């Protein structure tokens, strides 16, 4: 039902995204997108690039007079830093960083310079994804569904008051840090996704979307890893009178279908490969062992990645919601949503609200 494509490079003129399949009638302004793009500029752990870029979204199509038309939505985000690179004599980048796309992309595409791979693989590409996610968030919000995330851990530290000192210490040491992000979706109706085919399972679709974010190496749904240490009778969520559940170990999905509880996901982000402290590699131009070459980067991208993770979840849930409701406009979707809400009178003992 819903799909998107991004284009552009980290230091190219601009980044773009085309979001196709969004229904007509959704109020949408640049301000709604700007809010999420601003959150992508979280200062903790960010490199100097974020002081250059302003990430102002330009809506080029699919919206008229502040309302979606049902046509593809095209969004453009200019790269302010492009001007400082345009026409500049940039030396060839020939020393691949361990853990980055550099070497694999050079071998795959036959690059003599590593820059084409690293320019496209850069996490700068999450900017247009966040813009598309903001549109999806607006659709979910219209039907009372919210998506929120937070940093759960940085380098093993779970106390938020310790995050900044950890990042500062890593910066001094020339290191980078990873961490864990938690994303929760509330008021998701029962019945999104399906068990009947593997590619329709909501949990699988969410995991794929989250794993596509740069530097994400693991996904947990609910208490998945803790549950591996429990017997079966302790690893699941009892169903009680009124369809209440005292726990949410399954993370809001059973059999690939949303069950009305909050959808809870955690993702593991590795420390990014661009470190001030050199790492051993091979210079592809000489074939000799060498040290990696440093270019500016984040020390810890985890805080900035929260909104990218929310965008990935919002896209999948919006797609699954459109699949469930059908229709080409919000006016068509409203009655169907009320019908779905009314089919289950309560979840966790709380009466459902009904949305137009």
Encode pLDDT of 193-225 as tens digits: 999 999 999 999 999 999 999 999 999 999 999
Tens-place pLDDT, residues 299-344 = 999 999 999 999 999 999 999 999 999 999 999 999 999 888 877 6
| Total domains, the chain | 1
234 located within any domain: yes
Q: Is residue 22 part of a domain?
A: no
Q: Cα separation of 321 and 188, whole Å?
A: 9
Residue 160 confidence (pLDDT): 97
| Residue 281 lies in domain | 91-351
In a domain, 288, yes or no: yes
Give CA–CA dist 345/82, Å, rounded: 54
Lowest-confidence segment of 41-45, 62-66, 216-220 by average pLDDT: 41-45
For residue 57, name the pLDDT band (cuts at 50, 70, 90): very high
Give residue 281's pLDDT: 97
Say yes or no to pLDDT of 47 above 90. no
Give yes or no for a contact between 68 and 26, defined as CB atoms under 8 angstroms apart.
yes
Which CATH number fits the domain that encloses residue 227?
3.60.150.10
User: At which residue do the structure tokens 């490969």 appear?
Assistant: 273
Distance CA 252, CA 270 (A): 26
User: Tell me, what's the pLDDT at 355?
Assistant: 37
Asked if 67 and 27 touch (Cβ cutoff 8 Å), the reply is yes
pLDDT interval class at 83 (50, 70, 90): confident
| Mean pLDDT to the nearest integer, 116-139 | 97
Would residue 168 count as lying in a domain? yes
Q: Does the pLDDT at position 296 exceed 60?
A: yes
| 148 assigned to some structural domain | yes
pLDDT digits 0-9 by tens, 250-294: 999 999 999 999 999 999 999 999 999 999 999 999 999 999 988
Residue % of the chain over a pLDDT of 90: 83
* 8 Å CB contact between 32 and 66: no
pLDDT for the residue numbered 229: 95
Q: Is residue 45 part of a domain?
A: no
At 161 the pLDDT is 97
Quick one: which of 248, 98, 276, 90 has its CA closest to 175?
276
> Is residue 51 pLDDT above 80, yes or no?
no
Q: Does residue 47 lie within any of the structural domains?
A: no
Q: Give the pLDDT score at 310.
A: 98
Position 216 in a domain:
yes
Burial of 198 (C-beta count, 10 Å sphere; 0-12/13-18/19+): exposed
């Amino acid at each position: 039902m819903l799909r998107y494509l991004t284009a552009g490079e980290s230091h190219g003129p601009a980044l773009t995204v085309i979001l196709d399949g969004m229904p007509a009638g959704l109020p949408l302004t640049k301000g709604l997108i700007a809010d999420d793009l601003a959150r992508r500029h979280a200062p903790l752990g960010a490199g100097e690039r974020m002081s250059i870029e302003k990430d102002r979204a330009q809506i080029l199509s699919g919206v008229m007079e502040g309302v979606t038309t049902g046509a593809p939505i095209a969004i453009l985000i200019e790269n302010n830093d492009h001007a400082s690179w345009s026409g500049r004599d940039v030396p060839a980048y020939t020393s691949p960083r361990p853990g980055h796309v550099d070497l694999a992309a050079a071998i795959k595409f036959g690059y003599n310079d590593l820059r084409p791979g690293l320019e496209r693989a850069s996490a700068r590409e999450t900017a247009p994804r966040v813009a598309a996610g903001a549109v999806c968030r607006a659709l979910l919000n219209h039907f009372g569904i919210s998506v929120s995330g937070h940093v759960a851990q940085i380098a093993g530290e779970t106390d938020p008051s310790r995050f900044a000192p950890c990042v500062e210490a890593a910066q001094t040491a020339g290191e980078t840090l990873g961490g864990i992000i938690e994303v929760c979706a509330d008021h998701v109706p029962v019945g999104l996704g399906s068990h009947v085919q593997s590619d329709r399972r909501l949990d699988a679709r969410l995991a794929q979307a989250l794993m596509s974010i740069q530097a994400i190496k693991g996904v947990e749904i609910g208490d998945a890893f803790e549950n591996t240490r429990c017997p079966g009778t302790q690893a699941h969520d009892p169903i009680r009178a009124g369809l209440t559940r005292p726990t949410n170990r399954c993370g809001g999905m059973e059999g690939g279908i949303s069950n009305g509880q909050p959808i809870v996901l955690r993702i593991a982000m590795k420390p990014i490969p661009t470190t001030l402290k050199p790492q051993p590699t091979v210079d592809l131009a000489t074939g000799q062992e060498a040290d990696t070459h440093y270019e500016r980067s984040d020390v810890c991208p985890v805080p900035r990645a929260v909104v990218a993770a929310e965008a990935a979840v919002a896209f999948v849930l919006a797609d699954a919601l459109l699949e469930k409701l059908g229709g080409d406009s919000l006016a068509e979707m409203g009655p169907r949503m009320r019908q779905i809400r009314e089919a289950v009178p309560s979840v966790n003992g709380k009466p459902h609200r009904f949305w137009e």
